[in-house]
Amino acid sequence: MSLTEAPKRSPERDAFYTKLNDKNFSALWTVLNNLITPTPKSACQPHRWEFAPARELLMEAGNLITAKEAERRVLILENPGMRGQSRITTSLYAGLQLVLPGEVAPAHRHSQSALRFVMEGSGACTAVDGERTYMEVGDFVITPPNAWHDHGNESNAPMIWMDGLDIPMLSFFDASFAEGLGADTQALTKPNGDSQARYGANLLPVDFERTGLSSPLFNYPYTRTREALEAMRRHDEWDPCHGLKMRYINPLDGGSAMPTISPFVQLLPKGFKTTSYRSTDATVFTVVEGSGTTTIGDTTYHWKPKDIVVIPSWCPVVHQAHEDAVLFSFSDRVTQQKLGIWREQRSAD
Ligand code: GTQ
């Protein structure tokens, strides 16, 4: 028996395998090398989606169906190695959502966690658990598991954001629950900015009791993120693999802002080239500012603002910034860390 090679077949063995198959058995030694691989083997492929053609298709969708009829008018980013499975990585889903002026995406809730990363538009809003937030380009917004949420656009321009959800992960665990509210919008029980005031000022209500694993903050505005990155570039050393890379945290415990998804933002200064890096969390990134290239294995992808790139597990990655660049990314790192299976390798050539 070998971890890398299956034993030879023979007519006698094949006959036995057929007999096993009829009784809902199979022989481990015929599949072991594919089950327990020396390093990650994934169907997930690296890929880049350019924003401009994606936007054209979204606008075409906008003429075909309303947000209300669609429930969510989203173009799913299908990983080329896993077509038809609604996955951008093995464990994560991503899509591009369009809400046109005057539209609503009706209130519903589900056990899947969602993040929004705003790509275009200004002043559309999402309501989460009785509170509304208005969204701007670069804002990172969370819908925690089982939270009622609806989206609206009272501005006079289209609003486009990237959705990231843990849909494949919950399918894997057969743990999907969902329901509609039966109304376009949920009742608002809190003033705008309530959670920012309560949890976003390094303060907590004195008798605060935690209810879920998600951050009590649900909008991380880009203006504050960008200011932080800019202030740090004057003092911090650049990390050879990451430039200046930050995690979006849950202020209650410093862990990931979301229970199953790790969101990040990073600054790469003009001319910076990272050293090769790989990790077991397949990562999706989108470009907020700047342009550059990312080499994944032996393929190089050029990127510019709003493009989306997926990096599969354990593929060596090198980023190069042609101008000051800001990348937003997300992966299942926090889940892998909770399970004790996450690995990384710096200088992964
Ligand atoms: O906005 O609630 O891309 O429920 C997929 C499922 C977005 C949403 C998606 C969803 C949503």
Query: How big is the CA angle at 226 (ends 222 and 228), to the nearest 5 degrees?
Result: 120
Report pLDDT digits (tens) over 269-295.
Answer: 999 999 999 999 999 999 999 999 999
Please give the span between the terminal C-alpha atoms of the chain, in angstroms, as a whole number. 31
Domain locations in the chain? 47-346
How many other β-carbons are positioned within 10 Å of the β-carbon of residue 145? 20
Global pTM?
A: 0.97
pLDDT at 349: 60
**Distance from the CA of 181 to the center of ligand 1, in angstroms?**
14
What spacing in Å lies between the alpha carbon of 197 and ligand 1's midpoint? Answer: 27
pLDDT band at 3, cuts 50/70/90?
Answer: confident
Rounded distance between C-alpha atoms, residue 265 and residue 331, angstroms: 12
Ligand 1 centroid to 240 CA: how many Å?
Answer: 36
Atom of ligand 1 nearest to the CA of 143: 2
Q: Which amino acid is at 314?
A: W
Residue closest via CA to ligand 1's atom 4 equals 72
Residue 185 has pLDDT above 50, yes or no: yes
User: Any residues with Cβ below 6 Å from ligand 1, and which?
Assistant: 72, 74, 95, 97, 110, 114, 149, 163, 165
Written as six digits, the tokens of 259 are 């229970």
How far, in Å, from the CA of 67 to the mean position of ligand 1? Answer: 11
- Confidence label for 1 from pLDDT (cuts 50, 70 and 90): very low
Please state, in angstroms and as integers, the Cα–Cα distance from residue 129 to each residue in 191, 194, 216, 251, following that order: 12, 12, 11, 18
pLDDT at 153 over 90: yes
Tokens of 291: 């342009």
Report which of 27, 43, 34 is spatially closest to residue 5, judged by C-alpha positions. Answer: 34
Q: Is the pLDDT of residue 348 over 70?
A: no
Architecture of the domain made up of 47-346: Sandwich (2.60)
pLDDT at 7: 93
The two tokens of residue 154 are 């009272």
Q: What is the dihedral of CA 287, 288, 292, 294, to 10 degrees?
A: -30
Q: How many whole angstroms from 339 Cα to the centroid of ligand 1?
A: 26
Q: Which atom of ligand 1 is nearest to the CA of 76?
A: 3
- Residue 326's pLDDT band (boundaries 50, 70, 90)? very high
